[in-house]
Structure 1
Amino acid sequence: MPELLAVLAISAATGLRLALPLLLIGLFAGDKLWSTVPILANIPETLVIAVLVIWSLIELIISKDRVSRRFLQSAELFISPFVGTIAGIAIARLADITDSWLLVLLAITGGVLALVIQMVQVGWLYRFKSPPMWAIFIEDALCICLVFLAFDAPEQGGLIALFLLWLAIRSSAIWRQWPKKETNSHNK
């Protein structure tokens, strides 16, 4: 069960930011670096580090500009299930899970959770134009905290990830009611 919660935590982190969790996985894995991460294990470490550092900086800097954030998040929407899947597999492998059916289940769970959280971010961005700057900094901090929790306290990280999933579901319910409210206000 702790492995599932760790996968949920890292997948929620990849739903918030894509490159930063992958970078932190490699740094926290110790001497294994990215050897447990599918695809990244086959690329030279210096190239992986360079790309992830640059991508993380772009995410952290561009997320503060409204127009650039729309472009970045729209592009990341299509990448997020893939990154959530490989991050979930990496955490499962670090936890020494070797059952192939369980790895597949954790990979699918990780990809779907990352996609859902990324979809909610894109939805809120298009609905409200731009979130306040403090909310963006909270997203950054939450992403980093979820990665730490995936390694050190998977139960707490998994609970935060489940809370984010609940917020995503709640957001979709609110979004379904907005057109009804707008229609009612136009009819009056």
Structure 2
Amino acid sequence: MIEILATLSASAAAGMRVGVPLLIIGIMQGQQLWSQVPILSHISPHVLIGLLTSWSLFELFASKKLLGQRIVQQVELFLSPLAGAIMGLAVATATATPAWLIAFIGGLLALVLQLVLVGWFYRLRGLPLWAVLLQDILCIALVFFAVDAPRQGGLIALCLLWFAVRSAKQWYEWYWQNRRN
């Protein structure tokens, strides 16, 4: 059960940002640098450090402006399921659960959270700066929780999933209310 909570935490982090969680997981492995991470272990660590550092910096700085948020969200919408699956597999190493199921759950959770972020972005016509900063902090915290405190990280991820469901319900009611008017 702890492995599933760690998977949820890591995948939720990948649902908010793509490069930052993958970069942190690689750095936390020390000298091995992604050698235990599926898919990424086949790519040169030097190339990965360059790509993930560049994308992470772009995510962190470009997401503070409206145009940057649009670019980041379009790219992350397509990459978040892959990053969620990779993050889920990276933290769930010793579990009896099949790897394909962990990858599926991780990718699906990351996609759902990214869809909610895109929905709020278009509903609010851009995310406020405080929300973007909260997203960055929560993303980094979820990666550390996935490794050090999977129960707490998993509970935060489940709360984020609950928030996503509530958001979808609110949007549905808002849509029908506006349609009647």
The TM tier, using the shorter chain, reads: over 0.9
1:36 aligns to what SS in structure 2? coil
State the match for 1:69 in structure 2: 69
| Higher Cα Rg, which structure | 1
1:154 pairs with 2:147: no
**Pairwise CA distance, 1:33:** 2.0
**Pairwise CA distance, 1:135:** 0.9
In structure 1, C-alpha distance between the alignment counterparts of 2:157 and 2:125, rounded to whole Å: 25
State the match for 2:133 in structure 1: 137
How is 1:52-91 mapped onto 2 (pairs within 5 angstroms)? 52-91=52-91
Paired residue type of 2:147? F
In structure 2, C-alpha distance between the alignment counterparts of 1:147 and 1:68, rounded to whole Å: 23
State the match for 1:171 in structure 2: 167
**Pairwise CA distance, 1:66:** 0.8
State the match for 1:8 in structure 2: 8
State the match for 2:103 in structure 1: 107
Q: State the aligned residue count.
A: 181
1:125 pairs with 2:121: yes
2:92 aligns to what SS in structure 1? helix
**Pairwise CA distance, 1:65:** 1.0
- TM-score, normalisation: structure 2: 0.95
**Pairwise CA distance, 1:64:** 0.7
**Range that drifts further, 31-40 or 53-62:** 31-40
Q: What RMSD in Å do the two structures reach over aligned CA positions?
A: 1.2
Deviations 1:92-125 (A, max 9, x none): 12xx33x5x5222111110000000000000110
Paired residue type of 2:4? L
State the match for 1:23 in structure 2: 23
In structure 2, C-alpha distance between the alignment counterparts of 1:33 and 1:75, rounded to whole Å: 24
**Unmatched tracts of structure 2, length 5 or more:** none
In structure 2, C-alpha distance between the alignment counterparts of 1:112 and 1:14, rounded to whole Å: 11
**Unmatched tracts of structure 1, length 5 or more:** none
**Pairwise CA distance, 1:156:** 0.1
